[in-house]
Amino acid sequence: MKFSYLLPIFVCLNLFSQNQDLTKNYIPLKSSGKLPDIYTQSAAQKTNNDIATLNRKKGETNKSDKRKFYLESNFYQDKLLRSGRILFGDPISNFVNKVADEVFRGNPELRSKLQIFVVKSNVVNAFCFDNGIILLNSGLIAQLDNEAQLASILCHEASHFTKKHSIESFVTIRNESRKRYSDGSEFDEYQHSKESELEADVEGAKLFKNSNYSYKGVVGAFNLLKYAYLPFDEVIFDKSFLEDSNLVFPNSYFLKETASIKKEEEYDDAKSTHPNIKKRKEAVSNELGAIDDSGREKFLVSQTEFNTIRELARFESCRIGLLYKDYVECVYNNYLLLKKYPKNVFLKTTLAKALFQIAAYKSPTESDYNDVLKVEVLEDNSSYNIDFEYDSKEGNSQQVYHLFNKLNATQSTALALNYTWKLKKELNDTSKLINQLCDSLFVLAAVNNKVNSDYFRKVTPQQYLKQLEERNKLFKNESSDIKVNEPKKYTALDEIAETDKDSKIGKIENQKVKEEIKILEKKDTTLVAKIDESEFERFAFVDFFKQPDFVSKLSKAINLRIQIDKKSNDREGRTHRNRGGLGIDSLVILDPFYVKLDERKRDGYKYFASDEKLDEFGVILKNNADLAGLKYAYIDSKSLKADDIDVYNDFTLFNDWKNEFLYNDFHKTALVLNNNAYDVLRKKYNTNYVLWNGIVNTRMRKEYLAYALLGTVFIYPAPFTIPYLLRKEYSTYYLSVLFDLKTNQVVYYKSLYLKMSDTEDFLNAFTYDVMNRIKTEVKYKK
Amino acid sequence: MKKIATIIFVVVAFVSNAQLTPGYQGKKNIFSFQLNVSPTFLHPNYQKRKFSSYDGKTTFKPLLIVPFNVTPSVYYERVLGRKFSLSANYSFVRTRAFTDVKLSVIDPATNTSEILFQEVPLKLNAHYVNASMIIYGRRALAPFGKYFKLHLGYVNMRSKFEVDSLTTERVNNNGLTITTYKINTGDLIQQLQSLNYGLSFGMNRIYKSKVVINRGITLSNIRNPFGAFEEGSQRSSYTIFNRIRRHDVLSFYISVGYLL
């Protein structure tokens, strides 16, 4: 009891632990507090409860379809909640919940049924489940201009809940598709979805009316949706942002004019789930009627807090961009934030990472891990490609897409190394990650791009031209003939009252960006034009050649390539890795997966069986790790308890690491850059290794069923055909990957595809083999 | 024999890597009790079970179904590699055969030189000691999963007549016994030794991490016995060999074992 006075201090420490000084750095968001109930209850339990409740209701129609809905909805929701992408108890979620408290102040019953979480995703979206869980993407928060917009979106989502749209749509669509089979009647699913959305808009407006938020929020929310495909701000991309005195991009790498942003509200929505903005605005306008905005505010909770959480969401968007390979967008987002926070180390580091990943993606590959990374059972976005396509882009971000589209592998590498080396010096060589990035970029340049020591010039463009002049006597100063392309200046158009002039939408609507154009430093771009345009990167390191460590690292990388060329490859190392016998004592077993499918059925995913087998598989993993003598920490999202917030955060961290690693399917030098998972792993779990396992088991369709039946009729083949008919056909895919987070490598990998059932002995045999190979140390003879 | 031993040694050394041999959760020994079931594949005469007594008028009753022999064996398997193990087993066969026995006599009355006792039942015993080399398939990990097995072994076959003596009487036209001929078969015990070899396909399943259920099919052959069919040997040599060999040609087996 005597320490009870310390409690408020701990509470305060917890509350402020996520306060950040964004001028200096940004620490990625973490969840905090107790885990919500939805995490401690399994999807199977939730489904059984829902179905039991449904069965108790008398007179309920379409029970079969509703049961199906509960099954799919609960398991999908569970998968999403346990993906590690959900935030709760963090500043953004806390603020969103405060706004929800405010907007539903007059409807406490509804508020009590809603649970609101934030999803770490750059997609501008929000959605609601039938059980009152509302998920708001951080990408949406990053685009908001005020609290009122957020309130409007919450009202819309809450209306989906009150009107039970998700279950109603599911049942209707299933009914209609059955009718379509029986009587051929047409049913427009899009139209049905649009009707639900319009109803949610109208009902949302009614809820919004009861709040004290300004109606400008409603209009603002629609405008936000209209421009949701654009980055969170609209600022002209300054050409000098990535340049220095010697690394100057040719003018042809920049568009003279970027594509204007379409402002159309009445677009064709025939194949869209949502009505066009015009229809939505009209529906809401009809509902609201004459508007009296007096006494209503755009901010009711706190404008300062709103600005803070929006900034956090914007910083988070840079991190998420890296995770999901939106590198070019990440560069633009970094550019936007660096204008405001020029000394923020996180932004600079993130930018260096994005530049590195672009360079690595463009460079020729020398991949060891293609087999690992082309695992198709991973999540849907495992096959992401980096987007450099600029034709379809609009607004100022198009400039960045165009620039990176133009840059070739060597130029991208030179740009990345130029930026990262400067950052390394700025941080006084203290950042381990930046040092590692620099080293990798040297290798990327020398080994992958086959750059020789004399490729990069040691003289400035001016000096080089003079040399050319002296040598060839051909130099003529024609610089005055070449004009620098001035960025286009825009004029202001009408202003609208409800948008902030400085906001993204304000800028788009007003075309008011002309003042932002900086007069670029007057560099001698004519010289660059005079030299071959495609060789501008050869001057990227003129100043760096005066630094001995730069010269030394470059020459080491070139020597490495010479050695590799001689040996052709380091086969010995690869053999060791693939054969196991690693002598590892401890590891983290990370969130295994188990998928059971039935190929014979249309909805072939076996939810309950998958869930049960995952539990069994978890036990098998633990038992076999014990038997092999491994020390392990088992971290999964399924066995979390209310107080396991630290485990949840660790899980999120490792999961992000794993996903980033697996999405980087292009290069062995592709480092995992996005979080400090290794530090946590080392400090907390005292290991460098994370083991990830999974199984996909499929009940197969019998390919020769007709032949077998026919054969049985003819008696003589019956001894062969009857066992075939009686036997159940299965295929099982077993995956096991051991990551070394210190070296960013897969140190052990096992992938089996077997035509057999997933029996317990099968799982035990192969799992123990994996554990044994990890644990046992084998000394190979050279 | 030296060659065989050398081949086995080389194969074992090549395929086994003790450090990375997982066994089944580290367990590498299996002790089991096995039952081999084989159709007899014999001439219809052998498919007879009952006879009253040997009195020269034997009444055989044909069996309604194809008879199966059931042979017990004890089995030990040691996992030596990821896909490789060696095993040893001992089997005991007890069965029956029928043979003709000739008695050479000089009968002045008829001038016949021999008397033939037909279908005399023999008790046959055979002891097998086999060593096997087991290679597990792609989907398996020794000792779990499907396998291919080669075995080589020693067989000791032994026969004994079921009756101690065979007698027959010669009678004259009046029905009076003239002479009684008798053979003491009780002492006619014959032993044969041979090598057997064969191959098997089977599958091991493991339950509760301890119980091994093994099932499969074996094709096998016995070489000609050492010293059999030589001049002076009895007809029963051939019968023993033939009966036991046919017993072995094709068999199905199932075993229940314990994993250690």
- What is the average pLDDT value for chain A, to the nearest integer? 81
Segment A82-115, tens digit of pLDDT: 888 899 999 999 999 999 999 999 999 999 999 9
Q: Identify the pLDDT of residue B64.
A: 54
Q: Which residues of A touch B217 (CB under 8 A)?
A: none
Rounded to a whole number of angstroms, the distance from the CA of A778 to the nearest CA of chain B is 7
Domain count, chain B: 1
pLDDT of residue A151: 95
Place of tokens 């590692």: A436
Chain B residues closer than 8 Å to A761 by CB = 24, 144, 205-207, 209
β-pair type (A133-137, A115-119): parallel
The answer to whether the CB of A167 falls within 8 A of the CB of A66 is yes
Best residue of B16, B19, B205, B214 to probe chain A, by most A CBs closer than 10 Å: B19
What per-residue confidence (pLDDT) applies to A667?
46
Question: For residue A491, what are the contacts with CB-CB under 8 A and spacing of at least 6?
Answer: A511, A514
Q: Collect all residues of chain A within an 8 Å Cβ-Cβ radius of residue B17.
A: 778
Task: Give the integer Cα–Cα distance in Å for B80 and B13.
Answer: 9
Residue B229 confidence (pLDDT) above 90:
no
Chains A & B: contacts with CB separation below 8 Å: 55
Residues with Cβ within 8 Å of A12's Cβ and at least 6 positions away in sequence, in order, are none
Tokens coding A643: 């107080």
Is A776 in CB contact (< 8 Å) with chain B? yes
Q: How far is B99 from chain A (nearest CA, A)?
A: 35
Domain range spanning residue B225?
27-96+123-160+189-259
Q: How confident is the model at residue A509 (pLDDT cuts 50, 70, 90)?
A: low
Q: To which H or E segment does residue B126 belong?
A: strand B114-136
Q: Measure the CA–CA gap between A752 and A731, rounded to whole angstroms.
A: 10
Strands (E), B145-249: 145-161, 165-171, 177-184, 190-207, 211-222
The identity of residue A456, as a single letter, is: F
The answer to whether position B156 is within a domain reads yes
Domain CATH code at residue B130: 2.40.160.20
Least confident of A271-275, A393-397, B80-84: A271-275
List the Cα angle A53/A603/A754 in 5-degree steps.
125
Q: Is residue B127 part of a domain?
A: yes
Alpha carbon distance A646, A687 (integer Å):
17
For residue A52, pLDDT over 80 is answered with yes
Structure tokens at A245: 């005195």
Backbone phi, psi, residue B133, to 5° = -115, 125
Kind of pairing between the strands at A586-598 and A126-128: unpaired
A743 three-class SS: coil
What is the distance, to the nearest Å, from the Cα of residue A534 to the centroid of all Cα atoms in its chain?
Answer: 33
Min CA distance, B172 vs chain A (Å)? 58
SS3 (DSSP) at A490: coil
Is A250's Cβ below 8 Å from some Cβ in B? no
Residues A730-739 pLDDT 10s: 999 999 988 8
Residue B144 lies in a domain: yes
Taking contacts as CB-CB distances below 8 angstroms, the residues of chain B near A626 are none
Q: Measuring CA to CA, how many Å separate A565 from each of A363, A441, A448, A569? A: 17, 18, 11, 7
Domain membership flag for residue B169? no
The answer as to whether B182 is a domain residue is no
The reply to whether B35 falls in a domain is: yes
Q: Do the domain assignments include residue B76?
A: yes
Whether residue B11 lies inside any domain: the answer is: no
- Chain B neighbors of A579, CB-CB under 8 A: 20
B67 in Cβ contact with B43 (< 8 Å) = no
Q: What does the alpha-carbon distance between residue A29 and residue A480 come to, in Å, rounded to a whole number? A: 52
**Is the minimum CB–CB distance between A765 and chain B shorter than 8 Å?**
yes
d(CA A575, nearest CA chain B) in Å: 14
- Are A754 and B139 within 8 A, CB to CB? yes
Strand partners, B141: B144
Shortest distance, CA B19 to any CA of chain A (angstroms): 7
Residue A587: which pLDDT band, with cuts at 50, 70 and 90?
Answer: very high
| Integer angstrom CA distances of residue A109 from A162, A386, A410, A664 | 11, 46, 61, 47
A768 touches chain B (CB under 8 A): yes
Contact A768 B209 (CB under 8 A): no
Q: Which pLDDT belongs to residue A675? A: 65
- State both tokens at B149: 């097995």
% pLDDT > 70, chain B: 75
If residue B95 lies in a helix (H) or strand (E), which one and from where to where? strand B84-104
Interface check A736 vs B, CB under 8 A: no
Which pairs count as long-range contacts for A54-62, CB under 8 Å and 24+ apart, including other chains?
A62/A171, A62/A175
DSSP type of residue A447: I
Q: Dihedrals φ, ψ of B24, to 5°?
A: -110, 105
Chain B residues lying within 8 Å of A772, measured CB to CB? 20, 22, 26
How distant is the Cα of A686 from the closest Cα of chain B, in angstroms? 25
Q: How far is CA A465 from CA A284, A527, B87, B111, in A?
A: 65, 8, 82, 133
How would residue A143 be classed by pLDDT, with cut points 50, 70 and 90? very high
What's the farthest any 2 CA atoms get from each other in chain A? 98
Predicted ipTM of the assembly: 0.80
Whether B144 and A627 lie within 8 Å, measured CB to CB: no
Are A375 and A751 in contact by the 8 Å Cβ rule? The answer is: yes
Q: Find the chain B residues whose C-beta atoms sit closer than 8 A to any C-beta of A.
A: 17, 19-20, 22, 24-26, 82, 138-139, 141, 144-145, 205-207, 209
- Which residue of A769, A770, A776 to mutate against B (max B Cβ within 10 Å)? A769
User: Residue A367 pLDDT more than 60?
Assistant: no
Q: How far is A607 from chain B (nearest CA, A)?
A: 26
Q: Provide the β-strand partners of residue A737.
A: A692, A749
Chain A CA closest to residue B143: A765
Question: CA-to-CA distance for A252 and A529, rounded, in angstroms?
Answer: 9
SS3 content of chain A, % helix, strand, coil (to 5): 55, 10, 35
Report in angstroms the alpha-carbon separations of B47 from B51, B66, B68, B126.
12, 7, 10, 19
Task: Residue B160: name the closest of B81, B239, B251 by CA.
Answer: B239
CA angle A424, A429, A430 (to 5 degrees): 115
- The residue that leads in pLDDT, A672 or A457, is A457
Contacts of A627 in chain B (CB under 8 A): 25-26
Q: Cα–Cα distances in Å, from A174 out to A45, A179, A247, A271?
A: 25, 9, 60, 19
